[in-house]
């Protein structure tokens, strides 16, 4: 009970900190970076749902991010739709394309799935890059409007955009929390741990996987649409493979398959790379080995390591054998260790 209370206090504290942050600093650049980090967090949550909880590594996430961004851009700039209508449509279009891709992609598994989605992502990039007439090709798409006013609230200045995007991030986290702790969330975790077993106990795995895939593309589309109206310029680069590698780095540093991971990882990596500005082009010299070392020694990232550490501490305090943690995050470790035992034995 106390730990639950402590958790709640941390969460409320973090939200309050995020809300008052703009008043503490008057540095607009910092605000810009943080807003951008929030946008990435939403995309990373989408990736986490699929790769972390369902166990399917989709490398097309950057492509779907770009589809969301370009849908918003094209609908507002070329079709002249009102902003919020275009915003909703961008999410719907991305999810619809995600549904169609998922329908086929999810027939494949493991490595085939990763390679299939990598190719889908590359096709999306090439189409955006080469289809000059629609997307503007390498010249990019300019003049995307900022979010339109809702009633008396205007979103023209950086501060209000910060709060708008913070609102969407909190909404994403809330929805994610509800999904993970619902029956569908458990289903996803069951599929990750063993797809055959899940099938045996009567789970329609295809349906569940498709749901996870569409949800993850939805969040990619959402963050893409926010990105488009925040940066207000789009180039084909946002669909390129490096973006998905960035997202993966955020996810892994924070902790794949944990709820706090995307926030922790994105925040840390973005702030650290800000202070390593001089390395800009070479930052992968640090992040590449970091990614590899993390996956060898801390496969569940910072959030996961912290969780294990706390669990170990509390079990030592009680002097009783560690409780089987009920949430899905524990199940991952459990299944991993037992799997290893079987292989070594």
Q: Site residues for another protein, window 204-263 (CB under 8 A)? A: 241, 245, 248, 252, 256
Q: Is 127 in the site for another protein (CB under 8 A)?
A: yes
C-beta atoms surrounding 245 within 10 Å = 16
**Residues 315, 308 contacting (CB under 8 angstroms):** no
* x/- map, 29-68, another protein, by CB under 8 A: ----------------------x---x-x-----------
HSE at residue 244, side-chain half, CA atoms within 13 A, is 24
Q: In the complex with another protein, which residue's Cβ is closer, 37 or 59?
A: 59
**Residues 292, 252 contacting (CB under 8 angstroms):** no
Choice from 8, 181, 207, 340 touching another protein (CB under 8 A): 340
**Residues 86, 92 contacting (CB under 8 angstroms):** no
C-beta atoms surrounding 152 within 10 Å = 5
Distance between CA atoms of residues 15 and 221, nearest Å: 24
Q: In the complex with another protein, which residue's Cβ is closer, 51 or 89?
A: 51
Q: Site residues for another protein, window 273-292 (CB under 8 A)? A: 281-285, 287-292
At closest approach, how far in Å is the CB of 81 from another protein? 29
At closest approach, how far in Å is the CB of 29 from another protein? 25
Q: Is 123 in the site for another protein (CB under 8 A)?
A: yes
∠ CA 287-292-294 to the nearest 5 degrees? 90
Distance between CA atoms of residues 223 and 196, nearest Å: 33
At closest approach, how far in Å is the CB of 87 from another protein? 29
Tokens of 32: 């810009």
Distance between CA atoms of residues 230 and 42, nearest Å: 14
Q: In the complex with another protein, which residue's Cβ is closer, 81 or 127?
A: 127
Q: Which residues bind another protein (CB under 8 A)?
A: 51, 55, 57, 104-105, 107-112, 114-116, 118-120, 122-123, 126-127, 130, 241, 245, 248, 252, 256, 281-285, 287-292, 295-296, 299, 336, 339-340, 343-344
């Amino acid at each position: 009970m106390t730990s639950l209370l402590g958790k709640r206090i941390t969460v409320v504290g973090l939200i309050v900190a995020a809300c008052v942050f703009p008043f503490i600093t008057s540095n607009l650049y910092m605000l810009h970076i943080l807003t951008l980090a929030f946008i990435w967090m939403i995309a990373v949550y989408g990736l986490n749902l699929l790769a972390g909880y369902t166990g399917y590594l989709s490398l097309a996430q950057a492509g779907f991010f770009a589809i969301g961004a370009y849908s918003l851009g094209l609908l507002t700039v070329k079709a002249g739709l009102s902003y919020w209508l275009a915003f909703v449509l961008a999410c719907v279009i991305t999810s619809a394309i995600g549904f169609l891709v998922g329908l086929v992609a999810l027939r494949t598994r493991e490595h085939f799935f990763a390679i299939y989605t990598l190719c889908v992502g590359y096709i999306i990039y090439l189409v955006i890059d080469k289809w000059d007439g629609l997307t503007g090709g390498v010249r990019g798409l300019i003049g995307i409007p900022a979010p339109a006013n809702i009633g008396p609230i205007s979103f023209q200045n950086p501060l209000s955009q910060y709060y708008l995007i913070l609102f969407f991030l909190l909404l994403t986290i809330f929805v994610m929390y509800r999904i993970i702790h619902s029956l569908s969330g458990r289903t996803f975790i069951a599929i990750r741990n063993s797809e055959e077993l899940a099938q045996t106990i009567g789970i329609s795995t295809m349906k569940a996987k498709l749901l996870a895939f569409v949800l993850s593309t939805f969040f990619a589309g959402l963050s893409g649409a926010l990105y488009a109206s925040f940066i207000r310029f789009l180039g084909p680069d946002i669909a390129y493979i490096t973006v998905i590698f960035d997202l993966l780095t955020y996810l892994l540093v924070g902790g794949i398959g944990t709820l706090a991971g995307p926030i922790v990882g994105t925040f840390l990596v973005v702030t650290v790379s800000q202070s390593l500005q001089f390395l800009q082009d070479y930052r992968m010299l640090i992040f590449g080995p970091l990614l590899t070392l993390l996956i060898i020694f801390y496969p569940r990232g910072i959030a996961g390591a912290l969780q294990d550490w706390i669990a170990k501490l509390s079990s030592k305090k009680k002097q009783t054998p560690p409780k089987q943690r009920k949430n899905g995050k524990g199940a991952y470790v459990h299944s991993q260790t037992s799997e290893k035992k079987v292989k070594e034995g």
